[in-house]
Amino acid sequence: MAATPLAGLAFDNRFTEDLPADPVDLNRPRPVTGAAYSRVPPTPVSDPELVAHSAEVASAIGLSADEVASAAFAEVFSGNAVLDGMDPHAANYGGHQFGVWAGQLGDGRAITLGEVVHEGRRHTLQLKGSGLTPYSRAGDGLAVLRSSIREFLCSEAMHHLGVPTTRALSVIATGDQVLRDMFYDGRPEHEPGAVVCRVAPSFIRFGSFEIFTARDDVSTLQALANHTVGVHFPELGEPGPDTYVAWFDEVVRRTAELIVHWQRVGFVHGVMNTDNMSVHGLTIDYGPYGWLDDFDPGWTPNTTDAAHRRYRYGNQPAIAHWNLAKLANAILPLVGEPEPLQQSLDGYVEHFNRSWAAMMAAKIGLPEFGRGPDFDRGTDEDLLGELLGLLTATETDMTLFFRGLADVAVSDPATGDPLAPLLDAYYAADQPTGPLREATVAWIDRYRARIRASGLADGARREAMNAVNPRYVLRNYLAQLAIDDAEKGEYGLVRELLDLLRRPYDDQPGRDRFATRRPDWARDRPGCSQLSCSS
């Protein structure tokens, strides 16, 4: 099909200009050496239909509402048309998967269309589910509607929660059927296919550097480092050993901040392999992710990780540190000595601990935690530690608990049940009872005393807490309900959830049903509890 221009898009493809291309023009799975990418066109689809789009992302890359509504939009962002200025390609990278070096991985079902520069900002446009590439291994390069909706909605939900993330421009149903074994049990079924267009400054990963170091390809490694620093971190100065260290230090800091945000909102990535870690400090590759419906630090949404729980909620900070060590090893040939990189890596713990303490204090209404003149480290750290213990003692909805805590009266003398604002957070109707109730009430009494000592009035405290504790998150069962409808060709709930999640901290009249505990029917239903990597 002939290319159809969308006049708002202006391309400047530095990645393919700066880095070596695959010299072999053969689009089938194979080893690719001495190259950062392979040029490959998207696979056309039969009947593209726009399911939903982000108006904010469209505007950010220079597309008008009329252009999004045009037939050309669906053609281009399903992979049926390639515009002038685009340079479709799949990136070459490796990675450690579940702690083990996996060798060459690469964009197996993603094709980058090109880089758009709009109002001074660079946006890389990438189609996920757009067909076979040299990195597809045993896959077909396609994606199904269920995983595409999950990625689209969660990308935008995370952005509006204030969590650093890649964005999503659109999700388009392809009209084609894709064969998938969702449970890896030998019973594959055909599912409706889809393509997501995701957007980020770049999709450069920790594994992008690892592959070239593993192959002793220092030339391509240095070209990638120079491109990354020169294009995406120019404020650090000219590329060189000192600049590479400064860049790594920035990646360490951004990664620590990212994980603190994940912990703040109860997000579990599910597959924190080094090829799924962005050098920009963004959440990337939404696969078997999940949200803590109940506060269980040992929970992972990934069925592949069910036995060892490497990527469980409580282990995410340590895994990020481990992954950063692998990135440090990858760029060591460019720095020449390990000590500066080790110093930056050691700084991760300090960055994370400081940010985590401030974040948790904000969640309970103590914005001065760790900084205020009346800070009592023993008292305040004990207060937080006791709270986390109480949350794990019975099945407690994390989102609802912290939102309800803002409504606990502190300034006025206590009347009635001190736990009343929190009861909606407990899954068991009779919880908390007995010693657990006594311990929770005692904690509330200490909490009230600490807040009174800070001098923060209830109204101001509630406003501050509600700014960091969301009322709405993309619970797995909500995403699954939207998927159920979409697979019948009904996209209303997908679009309503997108609108809801644009304002996750606001009370939205008429939408209370989206701010409740996970229903019992969703406890064990596929897609509502744990998920596989099948896409």
Out of 217, 275, 285, 305, the active site residue is: 275
The residue to which tokens 């030998």 are assigned = 186
Strand 37-39 and strand 89-91: pairing?
antiparallel
Q: How far apart are CA 421 and CA 361, in angstroms?
A: 19
Whether 294 sits among the annotated catalytic residues: the reply is: no
SS3 content of the chain, % helix, strand, coil (to 5): 45, 15, 40
Q: How far apart are CA 160 and CA 429, in angstroms?
A: 32
Q: Please report, as a single letter, which amino acid is at residue 8.
A: G
Q: What is the DSSP letter of 375?
A: -
- What φ, ψ does residue 264 adopt, rounded to 5°? -60, -45
Q: How far apart are CA 490 and CA 497, in angstroms?
A: 13
Of 141, 144, 137, 121, whose CA–CA distance to 57 is shortest?
121
Q: How far apart are CA 387 and CA 214, in angstroms?
A: 45
Of 116, 140, 133, whose CA–CA distance to 35 is shortest?
133
The per-type count for the chain, helices as H runs and strands as E runs, is 16, 11
| 103 close to 170: Cβ distance less than 8 angstroms | no
| 48 close to 175: Cβ distance less than 8 angstroms | yes
Q: Which two tokens stand for residue 246?
A: 């400064």
The residue to which tokens 């070209």 are assigned = 223
Q: How far apart are CA 150 and CA 286, in angstroms?
A: 8
Segment (H or E) for 161: helix 145-161
Ramachandran class of 508: left when φ > 0, alpha when ψ lies in -120 to 50, beta otherwise = beta
Distance of CA 339 to the CA centre of its chain: 31
Neighbours of 43 (CB within 10 A): 22
- What φ, ψ does residue 228 adopt, rounded to 5°? -60, -50
Distance of CA 237 to the CA centre of its chain: 29
Active site residues: 275
